[in-house]
Amino acid sequence: MSPPPVASPSVPLRQRLSGALALFGQLPRTFRLFWEVAPWGAAVLGALTLVSALLPAAIAWVGKLIIDAVVLAAREGSEAARTQVLHLVGLELVLSVAVAAVTRLNGYVRELLRAQLGNDINGRILEKALQLELRHFEDADTYDKMQNARREASSRPLSLVLQVFAIAQNVITLASFAVLLIRLSPWSVLILVLASIPAFVAEARMAGDSFRLYSWRAPEGRKLNYLEWILTRDSHVKEVKL
């Protein structure tokens, strides 16, 4: 019978806060690396983030204008009022198409940046590996760090940048809706802000646990990769069969 899996050690609150502060400390270097590798991507991603943040509030505002125009057209019955409704519906359609286009373009730019940034960081890892001495390759900690770096090189730096852009987008969207709702009721703005806090806390905690899980399982992952290499390569099959 195989032994039960060992659970990852729990992380106290102080260590979580320390890790969060260390993460924020890495943001300037990450953004500097992002700008050095793909300045065009940073500019395009920033513009798309701003547009994506403002479109939901614009759609909601035009929807409000459509309702007001429909009520006015039903009351007056004039041709000008009905034309105004059609114009607003057309504007709403244009904004909806813009949301779909921006979403598609955002995904396309992210894939390009993921490939470009991953290739650059992988190249830097290989250059660093060439500078290491033989004793470093015989050290398990060095191998674990290299395993984590190679695994996360193609996704983690860009994911960190995208998360920051996503936070900025959500803040701008929340602020734009707050500007619209404060005319209706200040309490609705407060409810909107409070409703977004649980999702933010849960997402941040799950992301931190996921990263710690991958880091904690790095030795097992390196062992798995080694066994897969030994058992599936023709250069080792003779020794394995013997």
pLDDT digits 0-9 by tens, 63-110: 988 988 888 888 887 788 888 889 999 999 999 999 999 999 988 888
Whose tokens are 């983690």? That residue is 156
Calculate the alpha carbon distances from 225 to 99, 109, 142, 217, 220 in Å: 42, 31, 16, 12, 9
Out of 3-7, 59-63, 163-167, give the one with best mean pLDDT. 59-63
| Average pLDDT of the segment spanning 222-235 | 74
pLDDT at 13 over 60: no
> What percent of the chain has pLDDT above 90?
13
Query: Model-level pTM?
Result: 0.64
Rounded mean pLDDT of the chain? 77
Distance in angstroms (rounded) separating the CA atoms of residues 232 and 145:
25
Distance in angstroms (rounded) separating the CA atoms of residues 171 and 154:
27
Distance in angstroms (rounded) separating the CA atoms of residues 222 and 152:
14
Nearest to residue 44, comparing CAs of 102, 95, 98?
A: 102
Give the count of beta carbons closer than 10 Å to the beta carbon of residue 55. 18
pLDDT at 120 over 70: yes
Torsion angles phi and psi, residue 163, rounded to 5: -65, -40
What is the pLDDT, as a whole number, of residue 55? Answer: 92
pLDDT in tens, 152-161: 666 777 777 8
What is the pLDDT, as a whole number, of residue 14? Answer: 62
